Amino acid sequence: MGQKARSSGKKTLRPPYAIQRYEIIVPFPDAAISSFSQSEDKERWYILDELEQGHTYEARVSYAASSPTEFVMEILGMEETATILKERGVLEELADHKDAKVNTTRRVLRVRAIYAGVSIVPGRESQAIKYNIVLETLTYGIPYVAIKLVIVLIAIIGVSLFLIVPSVWKTLQTIRELEEVNQKLE
């Protein structure tokens, strides 16, 4: 069901459901993330591949509550990513090809973390944080993994509407009729 990212190079997440577990990131000490020099341990990059136009997707991060952190996720196009990497000197200049097509089914997700707590443990704000990242397709705003739950809930509601509600309604009508009879006898 879940697809793990390829181990070589950047990690790739593909719909309908992909998870990358036990990722590690070192948070920025405060909200001024742009003022810090970007380093490999302060941000993570993921390739979001095989995205289809017209579909909606959700990328989310989960982590231990004992590490109070605010995650900042940005979805970038391939050209934006190349520009950022060129500015950092990580990527050499690319030759401009006027006939080259940009892959519209691929995006890049940049994840950064900001320490958002107060700890009595010295140096806690600079310790690495483990997290999981998930990419999944949304169907009518419902995540891929929750579709089965929604189907079960619809079945339970349907059964209750057709079996339980009519019997409760009958009981209430009987009680009302008994009260009317009691009022007439008085």
**DSSP 8-state symbol, 186:** -
On the question of pLDDT at 14 being above 60, the answer is: yes
Q: How far apart are CA 184 and CA 99, in angstroms?
A: 90
Q: Which residues contact 69 (CB under 8 A, 6 or more apart)?
A: 27, 63, 113, 114, 115, 116, 117, 129
Q: How far apart are CA 21 and CA 130, in angstroms?
A: 9
What pLDDT, on a 0 to 100 scale, did the predictor assign at position 44? 92
- The 10s digit of each residue's pLDDT in 24-79 is 999 887 766 654 555 667 889 999 999 998 999 999 999 988 888 899 999 999 88
- Residue 37 has φ and ψ, to the nearest 5°, of -70, 130
CATH number for region 11-139: 2.60.120
The residue-averaged pLDDT of 162-174 equals 91
Domain ranges of the chain: 11-139, 146-186
What pLDDT, on a 0 to 100 scale, did the predictor assign at position 10? 77
Q: End-to-end CA distance of the chain, in Å?
A: 69
Name 70's bridge partners: 114
Tokens standing for 125? Answer: 């704000």
What pLDDT, on a 0 to 100 scale, did the predictor assign at position 103? 55
What pLDDT, on a 0 to 100 scale, did the predictor assign at position 7? 37
- The 10s digit of each residue's pLDDT in 86-118 is 887 766 554 444 444 555 688 999 999 998 888
